[in-house]
Amino acid sequence: MKSAGFRCKNNTWYRQSNDLIQALNIQKSAWGDLYYINICFNYYDGSFLYPSEYRFLDTFDLRIRASELFEDADFKSLDYTEDYDSEKRAIAIKDIFFRSLSFLDKSNSTAVLKEDYLDICRNRMRVGALRDQILG
């Protein structure tokens, strides 16, 4: 993650890309040994004290579960209550991270989010500066 320009705070990695702050967050379910990978965006206007001000739950205008973007069997590997071969689990999780990073690399500005991912943005964005930039 560091070689891709990310900084880490707790279980969330952040980076600035053009007019966005991008994040990849690992979240544990409160109900068991199930994990989620969240892909997050916020509009960057130069005012954030990057990354120390971020608190995952209430900071990001747009949060998407990676499993909603890439619906496939690999996400069973994040459920540690299921019997899953440890070597296959490691390979599947690594693949999920690579696909998530690839999505972040492609989604590197509000213009790209607006042009290529408007439906995702419209359905998942909270009120905020990013919503204003994309949805007007």
CA distance 76 to 89: 8
pLDDT of 78 > 80? The answer is yes
80-132 per-position pLDDT tens digit:
988 888 899 899 999 999 999 999 999 999 999 999 988 888 888 777 788 88
pLDDT tens-place string over residues 26-63: 999 898 898 999 999 988 877 655 555 555 556 788 88
